[in-house]
């Protein structure tokens, strides 16, 4: 079993952030703001944000590398045996909110976590794992776009477990990005995984390989969709529905998202953690789309887990 190489993971994540930001800047035509920050409890990060770009209304591509003497509650809730261990966590997380309602919101995250032996057990082995994935949240979806996104996700996973592993991560994504209080999915899914390697059953190199494959797949999964739809005309009706559906995004991130909870509980930089929230959002009381409308099509045809490949 190969030992975890934290420096290799950090080097990859920093390069991934740089490559993704470069591709997005080329597409948008505006630059991303850079904020380097330090965390009082240990570590820090680099936040790259665009607001009021030519295309992106808001977006961020964040790198963080934090450490601490005790595990946050969000990390030990389902693994209480890790309580009391010091930790080190690093990752790249991005959320992109286009202005055009015909272009979907996208999220991607890849991360590495290591829980170090407690002081009274200096000979114990560290426990490490990888997590991550990506998912798509359209407002006025196109089937060919959703299929392209899922096929690119599938291609990223197939070398690391084949069809069965892809199905597992696809179904995990469908169940994770689900608003239980609304009884509906956040979007059309993609991939999600966590605790990869924590059980000691896979080698570090295999877990790292999957994370790299997923991280590298984001740009080819997402940018072609934007190229196809960026020039579609829209009006106030489409913007209003986009703002309403963005409310679901906010609800999920603040109530359920593990990354948001971990960041806030571990004393991360609040501005960087909450950059995932869209700039314009609306809520309505007991609203339902008109039957047969373009808005109803999202609910009737797309917000239902299905095989897109």
Give the whole-angstrom CA distance, residue 57 versus residue 260.
21
Give the whole-angstrom CA distance, residue 135 versus residue 177.
8
Residue 93 marked in a binding site: yes
List, in order, residues 6 or more apart from 40 with CB less than 8 Å away. Answer: 267
The overall longest dimension of the chain from CA atoms, in Å, is: 64
Residue 259 marked in a binding site: no
Residue 84 marked in a binding site: no
Q: At what angle do helices 204-229 and 6-28 cross, to 10 degrees?
A: 0
DSSP 300: I
Point out which residues pair with 113 in neighbouring strands: 89, 129
Residue 269 marked in a binding site: yes
Helix (H) or strand (E) holding 105: strand 105-115
Residue 150 marked in a binding site: yes
Q: Is 288 a catalytic residue?
A: no
Tokens read off for 23: 């591709």
Q: Which of 78, 107, 148, 288 is catalytic?
A: 107
Residue 181 marked in a binding site: yes
The answer to whether 242 and 165 have CB atoms below 8 angstroms apart is no
Residue 245 marked in a binding site: no
The answer to whether 12 and 216 have CB atoms below 8 angstroms apart is no
The answer to whether 278 and 250 have CB atoms below 8 angstroms apart is yes
Residue 288 marked in a binding site: no
Tokens read off for 253: 């991130």
Residue 214 marked in a binding site: no
Q: Which residues are annotated as a binding site for substrate?
A: 93, 109-111, 267-269
Q: Which residues are annotated as a binding site?
A: 93, 97, 107, 109-111, 150, 181, 267-269
* Catalytic positions: 107
Q: Which residues are annotated as a binding site for a divalent metal cation?
A: 97, 107, 150, 181
């Amino acid at each position: 079993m190969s030992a975890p190489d934290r420096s290799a993971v950090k080097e990859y994540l920093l390069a991934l952030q740089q490559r993704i930001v470069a591709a997005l800047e080329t597409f948008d035509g505006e630059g991303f703001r850079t904020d380097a920050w330090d965390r009082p409890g240990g570590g820090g990060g680099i936040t790259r944000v665009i607001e009021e770009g030519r295309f992106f209304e808001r977006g961020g591509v964040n790198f963080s590398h934090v450490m601490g003497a005790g595990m946050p509650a969000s990390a030990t809730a389902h693994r209480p045996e890790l309580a009391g261990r010091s930790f080190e966590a690093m990752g790249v997380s991005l959320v992109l909110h286009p202005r055009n309602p015909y272009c979907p919101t996208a999220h991607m995250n890849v991360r590495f976590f290591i829980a170090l032996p407690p002081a009274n057990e200096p000979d114990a082995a560290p426990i490490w794992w990888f997590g991550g994935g990506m998912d798509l949240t359209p407002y006025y979806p196109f089937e060919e776009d959703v299929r392209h996104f899922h096929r690119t996700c599938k291609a990223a996973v197939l070398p690391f477990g084949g069809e069965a592993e892809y199905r597992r991560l696809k179904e995990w994504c469908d169940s994770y990005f689900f608003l239980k209080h609304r009884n509906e999915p956040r979007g059309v899914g993609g991939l999600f995984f966590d605790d990869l390697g924590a059980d000691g059953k896979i080698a570090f190199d295999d877990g790292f390989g999957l994370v790299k494959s997923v991280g590298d797949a984001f740009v080819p999964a997402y940018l072609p969709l934007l190229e196809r739809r960026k020039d579609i005309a829209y009006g106030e009706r489409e913007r209003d529905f986009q703002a309403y559906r963005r409310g679901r995004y906010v609800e999920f991130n603040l109530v359920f998202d593990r990354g948001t909870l971990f960041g806030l509980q571990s004393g991360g930089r609040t501005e960087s953690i909450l950059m995932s929230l869209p700039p314009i959002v609306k809520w309505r009381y007991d609203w339902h789309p008109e039957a047969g409308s373009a808005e109803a099509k999202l609910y009737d045809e797309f917000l239902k887990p299905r095989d897109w490949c």
